[in-house]
Structures are given as C-alpha cells and as structure tokens.
Amino acid sequence: MSKIAFVFPGQGSQTVGMGKELAEKHPDIMDYFSKADKKLNVPLSELIFEGPKEELTLTYNTQPALLTTSIAILDYFQRSGIKADFVAGHSLGEYTALVAAGVLSFEDGVYAVRKRGEFMEHAVPNGEGSMAAVLGLDRDALQKVTDEVNETGFPVSLANLNCPGQIVISGSREGVQNAGAKAKEAGAKRVLPLEVSGPFHSALMKPAANQLREVLDQIEMKDAEIPVIANVTAEPISANLDIKDKLIEQLYSPVLWEDSVAKMISLGVDTFIEIGPGKVLSGLIKKIDKTVKTYSVSDEESAQTVLDALKEEKL
C-alpha cells in the first residue's frame, strides 16, 4: 500500500514574502505568524513578509521564520484530509517535523529554534568556521579526505549527506579549505563554499549543543503521533526522551538525509510532499530515487495542484 511522507526544508529555503499571500487570504493562517511574534516578542511576521533579506537570513531569524511559514502552510494543506505516514525535516526542518508530529507545540517549536539559531550563530567566532558543498565524490572517499585533514590538527567533518554526489563538509576555515583542495585531487567535480555564519553540524557546535539542552529541558516534549525519521540515525523515532537526545546530537552530527529518504522508501513511502518554501528537498529526493513521486506545497496554488495530482493517483 502506498505511503506518504511530509518533509520540511531547512535553512537556505527562506525568501522574503513567503507565506504572505496565504496569510492575507486566511486570517486563521495569519494567526501562526501573530503567535510567533508574540512568543518571541519581535516583529517576525513583518520580517518574513517585507524583509529586508539580509536580516531574514540571520540564523536566529531564519530558523523561526521557516518553521512558522512551513507549519502555516501545513495547516492549510492538511485541511484537505491528506495525512502523512512519516515526517522528516532537513536540519532545522526536523523541528518543523516535530511540531507536525505533535512532539512540540507550535510556540515551543518557534522558541526552541530561535534559541538554537542564537547558539549556533555565537558558538564559533565569526570567520573561524565555514562549510562547503563537495560535488561528485562519494562519501567513503570524502570521509578519507576529512580524516586525513583532521590528523593535521584542522577539524573538518561530513555535515550534510544530501544525495549521491552532494555532500557538505563543515569545520574550521583551514580544515574546510584543505579538505576542499584534497577532495578535488581525489576526483571531486566542484567544491562550493557556502555562505553560512558558522560550521554547522560539526564538533565545533558542541558548546551550542550544551546550551540547547538547557532550553529543551524546559520545554514539554510528547511522544510523536507520527513516526519521525531522525537526522542523526535515519531511523524512525517516537519516544520523547529519545527525540530530545537526537536533537542535541544533531547540532554537531551529520544530517543523514540520503539515508533518511532511503529508509522511508524501504518502509513503503513512494510519495514525498515537501511542505514549506522552495523545492530543495524534492530535488534531492529525485536524485536519491527517480521512481518516487515528489510534490512541493508552498502556497494556495501549489497546494491545489498537489491535491489534484493526488486525487488522480487515488492517494
């Protein structure tokens, strides 16, 4: 029997104006943005709808902005009656998935990722850490490269295993530069530096992880109503204490996105619906397995298009 997974995007998918049209047409959808403003005591909705882009892309703004917009879009889409058998999110998107699965309340989710963004932003002094996307090299070969660089005293590690031939590395500035050069020598087609404010999903994020634990300890977390595929294990997880531990590990561990998608497919998922701004995850999923169906819902028009397609598929 066909199974559906809802997947939620992470940092990098944000755009000024996301969710604005939907919120303006539906006052109950606007409530999510208003609740986020109130919870954080900042005009987040104004920043989401009007910008400026430079401020929206600050990690501690981007994270609650994306969670708020994605959950608002999810609420609208779920009125159709479409339900997910599994949920997953890429990095930050895992928190959106946890709100969708009933683990976190919306307000607690917004607060948690705001603090997560602050901790990540300040964990490493500006300019000392970086990230880069390595294209065209498999994970075993790239792991060997990062192991060699680590032995020279410059920390670097695999951060996002997105799809075959697309892996992000993270660590000290020198570590990432050296690993990038060695990756090209080992056969990588391209190495693209990423515009990020820190070495996310590397061991350098452990100070932020310790701070995050203190925040999550103060938040009520319930068992998941829908199985969540954890970034750090690529396995279904439902127990609240396990989820908390995995969220803390996630800050300094690689995001196993390719493995997570493969796991869901092995569990019977053949339809992935990306909910939130952009189509990044849909593109990655197609590179992982061309046979599955992927859809993206980011506004009212795309929601209707997806619903029509699902009716044709009789899902």
Cα 143 to Cα 149: distance, rounded to the nearest angstrom: 10
Strand bridging mode 190-193 / 129-135: antiparallel
Cα 124 to Cα 207: distance, rounded to the nearest angstrom: 9
CB environment 20-53: b (16+ within 10 A), e (fewer) = bebbeeeeebbebbebbbebbeeebbebbbeeee
Two tokens, residue 11: 């940092």
Q: CB burial class (10 A; 0-12, 13-18, 19+) of residue 143?
A: middle
136 close to 190: Cβ distance less than 8 angstroms: yes
Three-state SS for 300? Answer: helix
Q: What's the CA dihedral at 29, 7, 309, 27 to 10 degrees?
A: 0
Which residues, in sequence order, are bridge partners of residue 161?
167
Catalytically active residues, by annotation: 91, 201
